[in-house]
Amino acid sequence: MKVLITGNSSLPGYRATLAMLGRGFEVIGTYLTHEIPLEHDSLTKVRADIRNFNELSELFKKYKPEVVLHMAAYGDVDGCEKNRDLAWDVNVRGTTNVVRLASKFSEYILYLSTDYVFDGLKGEYREFDPPNPINYYGLTKLCGEIVVMSSDIKHSIVRASSIYGFGPGRENFAKLLVKKLGKKEPVRAIYNQYTSPTQATLLAKAILEIVEKRLTGIFHIVGERMSRFEFALKIAEALRLDKSLIKQASMEEMKWFAKRPTDSSLSANVTKKQLEVDFFSMEEAMKTLQEEYLTLER
């Protein structure tokens, strides 16, 4: 099977690439600014801007992927709020380009979305709960969902929350935490903001299963609900770092430009009934994180 992964130099894109290659699939991975640090006989790396329809069209014509994993996005929450035109161009117009071409050349598309499509007023959002984003990033990702759901191609939408792990791509909470604790620097972690963090390797395993089964609908691939502070302690314990350096902070202290949901945790009860892979267990997530840490960071 031939799989196109947009944004495969991101952490989720990298882990999805490894999962697809591990199953023997041929992968065409797109990047914008930097290549994925991986060489494989079945991996073709292509620089492509999803905002450029003509450029993207040539890519689809050349490779004709059966499956598309659309993971390219502008994910800087404050950046999206400040640069709304760029956020719209990448997350909505870019997604529209990918979906239009996938509908013509491919059989199936999976779109990676976010817990930030919800307002955070109640938490434990179910797959079928109505979205209500409170920042521009969440709005553009919701618009991307609508573009996918409005298309003719067989599709799935995977929502994740605070994706973390070790590997390429921009910094994530776990990498930043480990870097600071490794230098014996104190870390402030929020005690009154709740998410359901998604381990990137387990996310990739779930995506692989969804793709192989050609499942359709909305899926929540997330871990257990917890505060940022609780999450930081879990990581420190798993990697045997000094958790006494982790100090509590509140959302009110943060000088964010964009609003953040107070509790954007996602329920995965419906999703868990459809998948065999164990993506939810914190124990499994920390075990996987330990393995990544020893492999990539040492």
* 157-178 pLDDT per residue, tens: 999 999 999 887 777 888 899 9
pLDDT of the residue at 31: 94
Domain boundaries, the chain: 2-169+198-225+260-281
Of 116-120, 238-242, 292-296, the range with the lowest mean pLDDT is: 292-296
Q: Which two tokens stand for residue 65?
A: 């992927």
195 close to 134: Cβ distance less than 8 angstroms: no
Q: Where are the alpha helices (DSSP H) in the chain?
A: 11-22, 53-63, 77-82, 84-88, 94-105, 136-149, 173-182, 200-213, 228-238, 269-272, 282-296
Q: What one-character DSSP code corresponds to residue 115?
A: G
- Sorted by sequence, the CB contacts under 8 Å of residue 182 that are 6+ apart come out as 241
pLDDT at 296 over 80: no
Q: Is the pTM of this model over 0.85?
A: yes
User: How many Å apart are CA 124 and CA 274, to the nearest integer?
Assistant: 18
State how beta strands 108-114 and 187-190 pair.
unpaired
Buried (b) or exposed (e) across 228-266, using 16+ Cβ within 10 A? bbebbebbbebbebeeebbeebeeeeeeeebbbbbbbbb
Write the single-letter amino acid at 140: T
- Using CB atoms within 10 A of its CB, is residue 295 exposed (0-12), middle (13-18) or buried (19+)? exposed
What's the mean per-residue pLDDT of the chain? 95
User: How many Å apart are CA 260 and CA 135, to the nearest integer?
Assistant: 7
Q: Which CATH number fits domain 2-169+198-225+260-281: 3.60.70.12, 3.40.50.720, 3.30.420.40, 3.30.565.10?
A: 3.40.50.720
The H-or-E segment that residue 189 falls in is strand 187-190
